[in-house]
Chains A and B, each alone.
Chain A
Amino acid sequence: MKFDYVHDIQRAYRKLIDSISKPGTISSLDEESRKLDLAVSCNKSILVLMLMLLDTEVTFHIAGQEAENISRYISQLTYSRVAPLEEADFIYILEDVGSKELESAIKRCKIGDLVNPHLSATLIIEVEEISNHKDLVLRGPGIKEEKYISISTEARWAALRAEKNIEYPLGIEMYFVDKEHKLLALPRTTKITK
């Protein structure tokens, strides 16, 4: 089956809505991403999230070993412009860059201002594995009492994210995607503890 740019994107979007409105909910983009056939080597659910979110009205930035190739390709496909990390609306961080890059991206990306807190970055991060294993505890809007997640990365992302989001409503959104196309989304309102 071929990837359907209307219906597969819609299905993936509803899964993202489900994941971000109920943080800690892991959705699977496996079905949609398996159908996607693009001439670029990159995690396919990351590509689905590029096609879903990017167009000429927003900017993006990719951190990854193949960043230049992928950026050029995606820019041609979506008409979205590449921007420096500090200014980009959507920042895609691929797994092959290592934890230093992820940490630096969290530190440097934009958080919006008090008048326009929605003009902040959304980070889409590729990791090895996401699960509901009890490693980190989530609390906040969208969560009934608490939820548990585990994300396989060496990066100190949770501490840096807490620092970045300290002055609510300023802050960043983080979507995680793993090798098996599982999706987890953390809005800035989610509080994470060990």
Chain B
Amino acid sequence: MKSYNFAFFDEGSKREIRRATLKAIALPGYQVPFASREMPIARGWGTGGLQLTLSLVGKDDKIKVIDQGADESVNAVNIKKLIKNTTDVEETEFTEEATLIQSRHRIPEIELREDQILVLQVPIPEPLREIEPSEYITKRLHADKEYSGIWLMLFERIMKHGSMATGADHPVLVNNRYVMAPSPIPRFDNHKLNNSKALILLGAGREKKIYAVPPYTEVQSLAFEDYPFEVENMDDKVCRLCGARGVFMDELIDEETKEKYYQCNDVSYCLQRLNNEIAN
């Protein structure tokens, strides 16, 4: 990979992404359009996150890439390989060692610090897309802070299902101004966005948007007074491997006994607990 510039991109591409990122940080939750380069992985597989990572990464960084909690799934491994091959930076699986963390759909269990940056991959950055297909109109709805559509959507779901039934990607209000799609993280992770110590950058490659949640910024999950925001209930679930409680779990079925069991979704967290590298 010697024929590529450091971090794959030409400097002009980095500059354009950097300018968008700087404005995104100044406008928490606002989606800044950017040119989104053609990448050697397919759109929809983390190109937005990857472009942010490549515009940020430097020789001294230690990088961690996770895909839905796992360091070793195909998407994470391939993104890591591309970064490694074009930058030669160090990799790590330990959350606390990493300076730059790119993640698909999870925020790590270990609390991030002020000196770390979390990059989230975003498939659909527009929280209003489900209720309004036109980008021209959604931009104007954000401009007017006209969010009755999304409130109505949540209300209708309560009428139909008895709860907001949002699964992942539950919309949030950032700094009391912009409604934002937090990327498809489980609702369990939504509170980690609020007053996070680390800078969180979100990149949508296909949709060509960059947005940000700066550290110590108020992020509220949308909810009603009589239907408060609820996270996935993990209280009575115990990880079969490390015995952890109160973290986000995967539900699995034992092939032989057909019994349900649970396992930490954040694989490196689980591994570190098993190796007694963090407090049990």
Q: Which residues of A contact B (CB under 8 A)?
A: 5-7, 9-11, 13-14, 16-17, 20-22, 52-53, 55, 57-58, 113-118, 120, 122, 141-144, 168-169, 173, 187-189
Q: How far apart are B100's CB and chain A's nearest CB, in angstroms?
A: 10
Interface residues of B in 218-237 (CB under 8 A from A): 218
- CB-nearest residue of chain A relative to B177? A169
Instruction: For A21, give its contact among B11, B14, B199 (CB under 8 Å).
Output: B199
User: Which chain B residues lie closer than 8 Å to A114 at the CB level?
Assistant: 143-144
| Size class of the contact patch on chain B | 35 or more
* Residues of B with C-beta under 8 A to A21: 25, 199, 212, 214-215
Please indicate the chain B residues that have their CB under 8 angstroms from the CB of A57 in the complex.
Answer: 16
Where chain A touches its partner, the secondary structure class is loop
B1-34 interface bits toward A, Cβ cutoff 8 Å, 1 = contact, 0 = none: 0000111000110111011111111111010110
Q: Which residues of A contact B7 (CB under 8 A)?
A: 10
Known: A141-B175, A142-B214. A10 touches B58 (CB 8 A): yes
A172, closest chain B residue (CB): B26
Interface of B is mostly: mixed
A10→B9 CA distance, assembly (Å) = 12
Find out whether the CB atom of B217 lies under 8 angstroms from the CB atom of A141.
Answer: yes
Show 20 residue pairs from A and B whose CB-CB distance is below 8 angstroms, ordered by the A residue: A6-B5, A7-B59, A10-B14, A13-B18, A17-B21, A21-B212, A52-B15, A53-B15, A53-B19, A55-B16, A114-B143, A115-B140, A117-B30, A118-B30, A141-B214, A141-B217, A169-B27, A173-B22, A187-B27, A188-B27
Residues of B close to A6: CB separation below 8 A: 5-6, 11
Q: Give complex CA distance A144, B195 in Å.
A: 8
Q: How far is the CA of A20 from the CA of B217 in the complex (A)?
A: 13
CB distance from A189 to the nearest CB of B (A): 7
Whether the Cβ atoms of A117 and B15 lie closer than 8 Å is: no
Q: Whole-angstrom distance between the alpha carbons of A143 and B216 in the complex?
A: 6
**CB distance A17 to B25 under 8 Å?**
yes
- Asked if A144 and B216 make an inter-chain contact with CB atoms under 8 angstroms apart, the answer reads yes
Residues of A within 8 A of B177 (CB): 168-169
Q: Given the complex, which residues of A lie within 8 Å of B218, measured CB to CB? A: 141
Does B77 reach chain A (CB closer than 8 Å)? no
Q: Is B139 at the interface (CB under 8 A from chain A)? A: yes
Which residues B135-187 have CB closer than 8 A to chain A? 139-140, 143-144, 175, 177-178
Instruction: Check A142 against B217 for contact (C-beta < 8 Å).
Output: yes
